[in-house]
Amino acid sequence: MNAPRIIAIVPAAGQSRRMGRTKQLLDVAGRPMLIGLLDTLRAAGVDRMIVVTTRSIASALRLDDSMQFTLVFNDSPDTQMIDSVRLGLNAAPPRDDVHGRADSPDGFLVCPADHPKLSAADVRACIDEFTRHPHDIIIAARGGRRGHPIIFPVALAAVVRSPACDRGLNGLPAESPERVRLVDCSSEGVTRDVDTPDDLQQK
């Protein structure tokens, strides 16, 4: 079975209002939170990523396009995660089944930067499930509760761009519940993000 071509989209442009400081820069296990998430994705075998963040965060972390990902800026103070996901989709190579572009994706993996306890093994498990079921929506879950990452086929990108997802990416599985496959994961980062100082202390 051929491995699917997956592009990870990492929304990392949130304003961190509940945290009171830029959470993407916070030290978690000796690394900035955003860098830790990117390292986890790489360890899981994801080698194509689109990071959507602000210019100030990119500058603070010295991120640039020479690194192993595409950098997209979202500096809107009123941004929502779905806005960053859509910007990531717009930055991806278009799917071309006729000409067979080598860089065109089969699916997109979405995982926000504020899930520092997510394990590479659980990301890999979701990728393996997508390899077996490339037309379905793969969602990591823990204890029956849905979380991140989520992987969806490129054919459903139009739904993510549509009004069905204006309130968030959870509109995608709501539109096609029959295509949802949950992957039971063990890492707490699947369902627990970092929004407040108390969340960070629990990590």
Average pLDDT over residues 33-44: 93
The pLDDT confidence band at residue 114, using thresholds 50, 70 and 90, is confident
Burial readout 92-105 (b: 16 or more C-beta within 10 A, e: otherwise): beeeeeeeeeeebb
Cα-to-chain-centroid distance, residue 87: 12
Q: Mention every residue, 6+ apart, whose C-beta is less than 8 A from residue 154.
A: 95, 104, 105, 106, 107, 108
Is residue 24 included in any domain, yes or no? Answer: yes
12 or 28, which is more confident?
12
Question: What's the pLDDT score for residue 44?
Answer: 95
pLDDT in tens, 134-169: 999 999 999 999 999 999 999 999 999 999 999 999
- Residue 40 is part of which domain span? 6-202
Instruction: Look up the CATH number of the domain holding residue 100.
Output: 3.90.550.10
Is residue 1 included in any domain, yes or no? Answer: no
Average pLDDT over residues 165-194: 93
Question: What's the pLDDT score for residue 198?
Answer: 58
Average pLDDT over residues 50-74: 89
Is residue 182 included in any domain, yes or no? Answer: yes
Could you count the other beta carbons within 10 Å of the beta carbon of residue 34?
Answer: 27
The stretches of 44-146 forming alpha helices (DSSP H) are: 55-61, 81-91, 120-132
pTM (global) more than 0.85: yes
Residue 180 falls in which region: left (phi positive, over 0), alpha (psi -120 to 50) or beta:
beta
Phi/psi of residue 34, nearest 5 degrees: -65, -45
The pLDDT confidence band at residue 68, using thresholds 50, 70 and 90, is confident
Question: What's the pLDDT score for residue 203?
Answer: 46
Cα separation of the two ends of the chain: 37
pLDDT surpasses 50 at 128 = yes
Question: What's the pLDDT score for residue 27?
Answer: 84
Is the Cβ–Cβ distance between 187 and 119 less than 8 Å?
yes
92-106, 150-164, 180-194: segment of lowest average pLDDT:
92-106
Phi/psi of residue 22, nearest 5 degrees: -70, 105
Average pLDDT over residues 78-106: 80
The pLDDT confidence band at residue 101, using thresholds 50, 70 and 90, is low
pLDDT above 70 covers what percent of the chain? 85
If one counts the domains in the chain, the total is: 1
